[in-house]
Amino acid sequence: MKTYDDLEGDGGSNIVEQVVQLGGKLRSRLDKIKYKVALMSGKGGVGKSSITANVASCLADRGKRVGILDADLNGPSIGHLLGVGNDAQLKMKDGGVDPGIGHQGIRIMSMDMLLKTADAPVMWTEAADATAVWVSTMESTAIRELLADTNWGELDYLLIDMPPGSDRIDNIRALIPELAGVVEITIPSPLSQHIVAKSITKNNKMGVPVIGLIENMATYICPHCEKEGRLFAGENIRELTEKKAIPYIGKIPFDTRMSQTGRAAGNLFYAAFKNSATGKAIAETVDNIENFLTK
């Protein structure tokens, strides 16, 4: 019996050509996108997806062509925030699938759009003993296909809503070597700062440009008097950015209306309340992101 080493070439599987074709397809999609930016945090629950959606809203309001890749495969929420769910009618065209069109014409692709029901989980296998390496490989392959098989078209920005943790940035950097940078997001709590500091350190060691740090839920806005109050106890986040030598690019107050917009309301917070204190803070954050990229 022959072993793998006895086979000539790829044994007739044509796998090399398939890999080359897939790489070319991915490249043809990405070459039409000017800036690719990942938004991430080492910790979940910091409002990362909400920030991603509203940064996209602000960019779209400025006339930019924007897309969002929901890279959080197991906990996708971008579709819900932008009004595109599993009932979206996806259309095949030009060897790919057209993205969902969300609020303000923002193009999105998310696992949510590929599931049969809104509460269906992502199951990579029916086996209970699937290894972490196998699952990680499946997730990496899924991200590649979402990027390569989506007809993004010409975009000024592709925002990548990353899952919690810092390990997935390895896959994104491998797929998008020209990644313009990452935006780190934290809340003022000491635990969140501790974990995001690790994420920043990893990106610096990998040579991934860190556009800056956003302090989300820095304060809260009273819905009655519109005054700001302290929401979390924690150390000064500006000191963290100084220690890590990265820009402090946004201090965004929590507004209860943030949780009331999205699919049900038919719009995004920024589009509806851009003149609020939180809306202005989002706009200032986007100013800093654009200034970093253009310089």
Q: Where are the domains of the chain?
A: 32-294
| pLDDT higher than 60, residue 127 | no
Q: What is the pLDDT averaged over residues 265-279? A: 89
Determine the pLDDT at residue 114. Answer: 82
Cα 74 to Cα 199: distance, rounded to the nearest angstrom? 20
Determine the pLDDT at residue 44. Answer: 83
More confident residue, 126 or 172: 172
Q: What is the pLDDT averaged over residues 239-259? A: 92
Cα 87 to Cα 113: distance, rounded to the nearest angstrom? 7
Cα 256 to Cα 216: distance, rounded to the nearest angstrom? 13
Q: What is the pLDDT averaged over residues 156-185? A: 92
Determine the pLDDT at residue 5. Answer: 56
- Are 56 and 105 in contact by the 8 Å Cβ rule? The answer is no
More confident residue, 64 or 88: 64
Count CB neighbours of 281 within 10 A.
21
More confident residue, 86 or 59: 59
Structure tokens at 176: 């998008």
Residues of the chain with pLDDT > 90, as a percent, come to 56
272 burial via Cβ count (<10 Å: 0-12, 13-18, 19+): middle
Determine the pLDDT at residue 121. Answer: 73
Residues 6+ apart with CB under 8 A from 76: 70, 110, 111, 112
Determine the pLDDT at residue 281. Answer: 97
CA-based radius of gyration for the chain: 20
- If you write DSSP's letter for every residue of 7-42 in order, what string do you get? SSTTTT--HHHHHHHHHHHHHHHHTTEEEEEEEE-S
- Top-level class of domain 32-294: alpha beta
50-79: per-residue pLDDT in tens? 999 999 999 999 999 999 999 998 888 999
Q: Is the dihedral of CA 206, 294, 72, 191 positive or negative?
A: positive
22-40: per-residue pLDDT in tens? 568 899 999 999 999 999 9
Determine the pLDDT at residue 133. Answer: 53
- Are 188 and 217 in contact by the 8 Å Cβ rule? The answer is yes
Lowest-confidence segment of 8-12, 74-78, 140-144, 286-290 by average pLDDT: 8-12
How high does pLDDT run on average in the chain? 85
Determine the pLDDT at residue 20. Answer: 47
User: pLDDT-based confidence at 120, cuts 50/70/90?
Assistant: confident
**DSSP structural state of residue 268:** -
Q: What is the pLDDT averaged over residues 215-227? A: 83
User: pLDDT-based confidence at 13, cuts 50/70/90?
Assistant: very low
Lowest-confidence segment of 57-71, 149-163, 255-269 by average pLDDT: 255-269
